[in-house]
Structures are given as C-alpha cells and as structure tokens.
A and B are shown apart, each in its own frame.
Chain A
C-alpha cells in the first residue's frame, strides 16, 4: 500500500524567510509525487510534480521541491515566503502504471507566514 506522511501539522515562518514543508512517502516502485495547495474556502490547486529526471523540480508561485530517493522524501521549499503563501499544503503520491489509479494524499500541513 502507498502512503504519505507530513510530519508537521503547522509551519510558522516570517515573511521573507525560507519555507520548507516536509513530506515522506512509501510506494512500490518508482513514485510519482505531487504537491497541492488549498487556500481558504477554495479547492486544491496543483503546484508541482516529480515524475522522472532532475531531482529538483520547480513549480508555480516560486515553489520548488527536491526528490530524495534514499530518504523517500519530497520536501517543498520556497526561498522567500510571502504572507499570501499562508495556506494548507498537501503532498501526494501514486505508484507507476499498473499499480492502481489512486492518488494518496498526506494529512496536510498548514503554513502561516507572518508579516
């Protein structure tokens, strides 16, 4: 079975400081990894994904994530956080073709960026 862990329920950071949201995963075979963001009273929006290739992937709104196979991690990062980045962030994983169609989400991490 595939699973995702987001160990921090909430991350607080001052505006302008680096932001990191942690994610570790478990899946059979090569993983496909995703980050989504949910702003208040809105649906989830796609941020970025890792499928193959470079371990560092860049996404929307200045976010990036680093795939680390040995540590089974896919941490989300932003060099300089904005107040508008305050939201709920979800990491998700699915296995390779033939391993099922379910995209499994972590429990979410709430990010609060203070001015």
Chain B
C-alpha cells in the first residue's frame, strides 16, 4: 500500500494475556519506529529499527515488551502478560532511507489496545 499499515486497528484483551501488534511500513523505508500514545498524553518512544543495525530499545517500558522486524520490512510489537496501564494507541512510523536526522516520519493510524 501507499502508507504505513497497522493491524489490528482495535484490540480488546484481558489482563494477563499476550498481544501482538503488526506494522507494515512503506515499501523501501528502512527506518521503523514504534511509539505509544496514552489517552491525553503525548507520544512515548518505544523502539527504533534501522536496516540491519541493532535496534534502539531504550524506550521499551519493561521486559514484557519486545519487538522484531523480519526481513527489514514488517515489524511486530509483542506485549506479554498485559496490564491495564498498557492500554494506549500504539503508533508505527517509517522513514525513507538517506535522510536520517532530517527526514520526516510517516505514521500509520495506530492500533488501539484496551486491556480489561
């Protein structure tokens, strides 16, 4: 597709269950970010992938959170043993190559996670 695609758009789960959120970046974009947007809050950085380099995981809030990016394209964010405070909109963004610091991010519409 032309834009960043995220699925599911909405996910309701019970506390303690694991969830997987998927991001399909724009074709050819080598950088991929995950952010979290809680209700009424700004965007919280989670993790960053750039090509084959080791990801920047400095924003992951706990070891229940992990992410991978297979084949330099699709990424999956996994949250294990979900807690109510994990409820948020999880946003994925990608950036085209060759514009590192100066390039703008292209965001998906997000996956809204509700933990009951």
Contact = CB atoms under 8 A, between A and B. Distances in A.
Contacts of A102: 45, 48, 56, 58-59
Interface residues of B, number: 25
Interface of B: 4, 31, 33, 35, 41-43, 45, 48, 50, 56, 58-59, 91, 93, 100-102, 104-110
Contact of B100 (A97, A104, A106): A97
Contacts of A46: 104-106
Contacts of B101: 32, 94-97, 101
Contact of A103 (B50, B105, B108): B105
Contact of A101 (B35, B56, B104, B109): B56
B56 A100 contact: yes
A43 B107 CA distance: 6
Contacts of A96: 101
Given A43-B4, A102-B48, A34 B104 contact: yes
A45 B91 CA distance: 12
B2 to A, nearest CB: 13
Given A101-B50, A101-B56, A106-B42, A51 B109 contact: no
B45 A104 contact: yes
